[in-house]
Structure 1
């Protein structure tokens, strides 16, 4: 099996073992691995490069990409699209949109584009990259766009939730710092987690709208999109990044040492390596070969997403706004502008 696989946030807790799994089980694939800081001065990038170095002849390159800059996203998409067109890179087989941001200890922050940072990185930038690169997927093989979900997108399902997620009537509020980042009573954790949950709700709803358009386009019907909740990752670096001290203590002294015992009552609690294997096989493994692999997954199993995420009218309104936020046009995407509008919408 040949082709290219892009992984964003490739030096993350789940991504590094995913890269190792790909190089072990699918060595003929070409990996384009994006990180915010591509230098080895970054300890996590250095770890990623160490993993790659263990595989002689690995077809893997590390690229700098800051998803907090849409200019950088579009520039990287131009680079990949040109590389595929010129034969430098094989056509795409999968885009694994793994990169992530949250901040539970401060008010929301704006990106260079003026959008709320969590929402841009987790939703707008990942959607932009997918829409820009659909035309670079292999036309003769199954293709997969993998977005990352979370049980946080479903109100009441995550223990960190204080303020339920929801798509507002005015969707622009999701990207506006003054609304998305406003903190009532200094509750940074509550508002920060809501921003994160809203970004995951948005990417799940967007996934459904994207699949409708892929199904209707005969040149893209071999490509499908999925949104995967990888589970509760006891060893994730996310639990130690922009989080309250209490959460870091719980991870170190409860979640990690007691994971086997805790998993008896919570089967979603697992290691990043286990989740990585599921993600890779959904993206490029035997399980990915059928075009019916689409929709919402929990680990390797098909699952139900929240009722709001399945509201087709909200999905379509979110599609239109996402295309606008991400600066997707007829000139830079095969689904440019508002894309193909499926019958009934």
Structure 2
């Protein structure tokens, strides 16, 4: 079967100069009284335009040339075979075109989502206000949890200001790496790592003993380290309550005399707005709570303890030039959320990446309370990025703050003769009788 193609034949690609019909030379043009030949380039120099079948809904099917797919269909029909209408190359090409279109829409949607993310993440929040920091040369600071997150960002800025910075962290590998990175970025060689595991009261005592033996000064203590995971420590206490509160309470008490001798000095305790859901009972301090959301409740209890610790410490240190501040750094995307329940991570992690602050932004209010002049009259207050704020009602309960202080002294073995063994045994007894928060 033959058919004439409706497309004109392609011109020969051998012709370069076209000669008008009836002339034996090229056309000329008169310029400045002289004749100049005109060269005309043939379209055959351009690559041939591919022939696009127009039969797929663009032209009447009768005008479409017989292509390979139709020939294949007819040949198949002539042999008694099945029609190729459902599996010919034309349909395959259409399927490929449809796939390319779907990919284009997918890329467009991804691009729009990225644009929305950028707008929300950086546009609507506004640019952060620049902070002026004082010169801290000659001053010594301890930052717990200084190997990552808010602690690392705060330590970096303190080192930039010239302070001697001790990174008190549990992991030697991460602590040494963070100290090396900060020294390299700031040029300040007075950044050191010291081992501290707040989940072990024995480690807290060993750290304090080593620090007091090696370091003659201490002007700034930033109690930053924290966990949100459930569990029980080797001392028998709830893991979040000991790491977030009890360990820091003992550390502060062991270093308090050095802070007094180097006054004016400050203690900054990283708390959280989650203290609003805290429910502290002095008779059951250190016990993991029960219930479906026990881990979250445990975390909120420890954050309430942070707020009350700062309040009571400020009351007890009046007249010593040691001041204390509780800080809510904001919702910050840090490794704290690695302990979130598996069912919550698919919702929480995208929100954290999209809307939460990064570590350097979260460290701003911590650094403000650590370095800003004129905050002494506000000792014991609760701070956010907007300045001092009233905590929730439980965070303003002075009687509860006093009961927490006395109970914490008892649990860590301070305040009474022979109290270390008594508090240790009681902590183990309470922890053993209570279920873990996991």
State TM-score, norm by structure 1.
Answer: 0.75
Q: What's the counterpart of residue 330 of structure 2?
A: 231
Match of 2:359 in 1: 272
Aligned to 2:154: 18
Cα separation, partners in 2 of 1:17 and 1:331, compared to 1, 3 Å? farther
Q: Which whole-Å deviations, capped at 9, do the CAs of 1:46-102 have from their partners, x for residues lacking one? A: 34532333232421110111111101101111122223xxxxx34211110001011
Task: Give 1:31's match in structure 2, choosing from 145, 165, 170.
Answer: 165
Distance 1:227 1:195, change over 3 A: same
Q: Which protein is richer in helix relative to its size?
A: 2
Which secondary structure state, in structure 2, belongs to the residue aligned with residue 245 of structure 1? coil
- Distance of aligned partners of 1:166 and 1:76 in 2 relative to their CA distance in 1, 3 Å threshold: same
CA separation of 1:115 and 1:253: change in aligned 2, threshold 3 A: closer
1:94 aligns with 2:220: yes
Separation in structure 1 between the aligned mates of residue 238 and residue 349 of structure 2, nearest angstrom: 30
> 2:312, 2:402 within 8 Å by CA — same for their partners in 1?
yes
Task: Provide, for residues 125-184 of structure 1, a one-character-per-residue CA deviation record: whole Å limited to 9, x for no partner.
Answer: 1011111111112646421111111111113xxxxxxxxx2112xx242312xxx243x3
| CA distance, structure 2, for counterparts of residue 56 and residue 152 of structure 1 | 37
- What corresponds to 1:256 in structure 2? 353
Task: Tell me, yes or no, if structure 1 residue 69 matches structure 2 residue 197.
Answer: no
Using CA pairs below 8 Å that are at least 6 residues apart, which structure has the higher relative contact order?
1
Q: Is the 8 A contact 1:139 1:222 kept in 2?
A: no
Give distance in 1, aligned partners of 2:350 and 2:254. 43
Q: Which residue of 1 aligns with 2:246?
A: 124
Write out aligned runs for 1:287-298 (5 A).
290=376, 292-298=378-384
> Do structure 1's residue 6 and structure 2's residue 128 form an aligned pair?
no
Q: Taking structure 1 as reference, are residues 309 and 252 closer, same or farther at Cα in structure 2, changes over 3 Å only? A: closer
SS at match of 1:111: coil
How many Å apart are 1:203 and its aligned residue?
1.8
For structure 1, the residue ranges without an aligned partner over 5 or more in a row are: 84-88, 156-164, 260-268, 333-345
Aligned pair 1:243/2:337, yes or no?
no
Say if 1:214 and 1:113 are closer, same or farther in 2 by CA, change over 3 A: same
Asked if residue 50 in structure 1 is aligned to residue 188 in structure 2, the reply is no
Moved more, 14-23 or 246-255: 246-255
* C-alpha distance 49-245 of structure 1, shift in aligned 2 (>3 A): farther
CA contact (8 A) 1:21 1:277 kept: no
What is the distance in 2 between the residues matched to 1:66 and 1:6? 14
Distance (Å, rounded) in 1 between the aligned partners of 2:314 and 2:307: 11
CA contact (8 A) 2:327 2:365 kept: no
Unaligned runs of 5+ in 2: 1-135, 419-438
CA contact (8 A) 1:7 1:98 kept: yes
Tell me, yes or no, if the aligned pair for 1:91 and 1:138 is still in contact at 8 Å.
Answer: no
Q: Note closer, same or farther for the CA distance 1:128–1:230 as it changes in structure 2 (3 Å cut).
A: same
Whole-angstrom CA distance in 1 between matches of 2:207 and 2:402: 27
Query: Which structure has the bigger radius of gyration?
Result: 2
The number of residue pairs the alignment matches comes to: 282
CA contact (8 A) 2:223 2:268 kept: yes
Q: Does 1:283 align with 2:370?
A: yes
- Cα-Cα RMSD: 2.3
